[in-house]
Chain A
Amino acid sequence: MSHSLISRRTLLKTSAAGAAFGAAGLPFSLRPARAASATIGFIYVGPKDDYGYNQAHAEGAKVLKGMSGVTVVEEENVPESVDVQKTMESMINLDDATLVFPTSFGYFDPHMLAMCKKFPDVQFRHCGGLWHKDKHPANAGSYFGYIAMGQYLNGVVAGHATKSKKIGFVAAKPIPQVLNNVNSFLLGARSVDPSITCQVIFTGEWSLAVKEAEATNALVDQGADVITCHVDGPKVVVQTAANRGAFVCGYHASQAPLAPEKYLTGAEWNWATVYEMYAKHLLAGEPLPNFTRGGLADGFVKMSPLGPGVSDAGRKQFEATLAEIKKGGYAVIKGPLKDNKGKEIAAAGKAFPETAIELESTGFLVEGVQGSTS
């Protein structure tokens, strides 16, 4: 389940904020009353219909638009600079937003932290799991999902679909979140056939259409026949791979409509779960959890429906693995395991489930991944 760490201080503070809220409607109420309405701000780093990271968040925000009492304000294409600070400030000053979701990873430090200090009565929740109660303000917080498990399931399906025993991964940058996804994708495939290898190509940018297409072509040229990716908008990778006749596994959001025949499945965010939870707390005048994480079992992450390219055996193993993961405690990174330079990562018997803190600083690619972290 989600791990909610609510410090006492936050609790007091949010209640106070709730009271201030309620005061508008019920001026003489003594206890924190229900806030009649609230404005919630969403900030995206790219276009909110990018078939990827930003779309996943915007789909979550869209659910809130349907909730009574909630006003959603959104801004897209906001760079990780003073722009985002001023956007938050503008949402608070001019739109009366009391809860802000800056959704891009790079918004946290220093931008969101600066705003937290400036507006102690406003709540900020950031996507990415960076918040720490000893280091960061109490009106800030983090939410994130264990999506690497989704990439593991992608790998399981890919392992059944690959004929060349080589699968490919188009990645933006060699950072822990991306490396966990690459490792999980290969290990998922290796759970089907341990001889499978995965080639990774880093494009160096979160969004760079031509380079993503070139990387996909290079992977297919080297024999990879199932491709997945971790870039902001997977549209180009999915279309290019499908055009070359390779199968694809999606990421961030469902790209199935782009390549219905070649799309096997995909690891999708399901942010509506998180945003609804926050909005309900906010409307009820209750404190918001500072730190929320969850995976497939908690509805933070979901899998796209399996496509026509998935074999019966693939479907069976996918469903069995998914059921196993939902029970909790499932570990993808478990010993004996070496990295692709031959160094031992986990001795026999040692396992790192998705919640393991060590996975947040992953700096290795597991044995069988062709590529380098620097």
Chain B
Amino acid sequence: MENDIGLWGVPLAVLGGAIRVSTPFIFVSLGEAITERSGRINLGLEGTLVFGAMAAYAVAVETGSPWLGVLAAMVAGSGFGLLHGWICSFPRVNDIAVGIALMLFGMGLAFFFGKPYIQPSAPNLPAIPLGDWSSIPQVRAALNVNALFVIGAALALFLWWAFKNTKLGLIVRVVGDSADSARAMGLSPTTVRLFATAAGSALAAVGGAYLSLYYPGSWNERISSGQGLMAVALVIFARWNPLGCFAAALLFGGAGALGPALQSVGVTQGYYLFYAAPYILTLVIMIATSSPGRQLAGAPGELSITK
């Protein structure tokens, strides 16, 4: 067989999987990084992601344009973000709890309005064939990269730069590190956080659009297996660094591809444990890189979860 790539299939699958599976994690974790950098936590991005997946799919079905779907997801996502930001602007309201409530609400609305869209097929987002130089179809498939992945990578780079070098980045960071000094500078922490949450949620919804419009590319109630929740956790893992979020998402996606790839070359024992590889790997890295001395370096000072 000329296209038999044997054991090379494993690293290739991990690479391809990293690219295919990671995109939702990239968008959600970048979005959450913006929100958390402003000193607020939005645990509800799983709900936003699922609603984004539904909204994108529904609009793509109705209009025939997947990009309009992505846009719709962003609009819907920022709506959820504004709601979260608005509710949390009241004194004594717990942002983590509001996140959980919105997770439920977002998923509920998505399933509720998504029923009629389970059956129809939506047009998919286009892919960029970065692997055309290769004659091996598996390599071409692995490097068949969706535009959203490229946008996500660029966004990670941009945010990393913007947090350091732009006025807006500085504003977000000041508000996140100390509300008092922000106020002293004449900034309104509430307003900044409101928009940071809205922006973060809009990105998370794009992650959902990727799920429903590209990979796996269909809408149903089981489309997300906790990507939104996990991506929020990855932000803390990545220490609020956008480049770290990107790397963590790639690592997580690649590890997730390990299970099926190993089975396809004959390593079949204990596949449940291989499937748990992303979680085990993340936990091990977290334990290895944390130490009691430096408590979460880089954590925004106002974040309730790290106080």
Residue positions of A touching B, CB distance < 8 A: 46-47, 49-51, 77, 164-166, 199-204, 207-215, 217-223, 233, 235-236, 239-240, 243-244, 257-258, 370-372, 374
Contacts and interface: CB of A to CB of B under 8 A. Distances in A.
A257 B119 CA distance: 9
Given A221-B5, A370-B266, A371-B263, A209 B119 contact: no
Interface centre among A212, A222, A236, A239 (most CB of B within 10 A): A222
A218 B225 contact: no
A201 B264 contact: yes
Given A214-B21, A233-B220, 9 more contacts: A47-B115, A47-B221, A203-B260, A207-B222, A218-B264, A221-B138, A222-B265, A240-B216, A243-B217
B1 interface: yes
Interface of B: 1, 3-5, 9, 12-13, 16-17, 20-21, 115, 118-119, 121, 124, 138, 141-142, 211, 215-218, 220-225, 227, 256-257, 259-261, 263-266, 268-269, 271-272, 275
Given A207-B222, A233-B220, A217 B275 contact: no
Given A47-B220, A208-B222, A217-B141, A202 B118 contact: no
Contacts of B1: 164-166, 223
B62 to A, nearest CB: 18
Nearest to B265: A222
Interface centre among A164, A217, A236 (most CB of B within 10 A): A217
Given A47-B221, A214-B17, A219 B256 contact: no
B67 to A, nearest CB: 19
A258 B121 contact: yes
B9 A209 contact: no
A223 B256 contact: no
Nearest to B142: A221
Given A217-B141, A220-B141, A209 B260 contact: no
Contacts of A239: 121, 216-218
A199 B218 CA distance: 25
A50 B121 CA distance: 13
Contacts of B21: 210, 214
12 contacts: A47-B118, A47-B220, A201-B260, A202-B268, A204-B271, A214-B13, A217-B16, A217-B17, A218-B260, A221-B16, A222-B265, A223-B3
Contacts of B12: 221
A200 B220 CA distance: 24
B223 A209 contact: yes
B12 to A, nearest CB: 7
Nearest to B21: A210
Nearest to A238: B218
Contacts of A371: 263, 268
B222 A215 contact: no
Contacts of B5: 221-223
A258 to B, nearest CB: 6
B264 A213 contact: no
Contacts of A218: 9, 13, 257, 260-261, 263-264
A174 B9 CA distance: 23
A212 B220 contact: no
A208 B222 CA distance: 7
Given A214-B17, A222-B9, A50 B220 contact: yes
A213 B263 contact: no
Contacts of A203: 260
In the A-B complex, list the 4 residue pairs whose CB atoms are closest, starting with the nearest. Answer: A372-B268, A213-B216, A218-B264, A218-B260
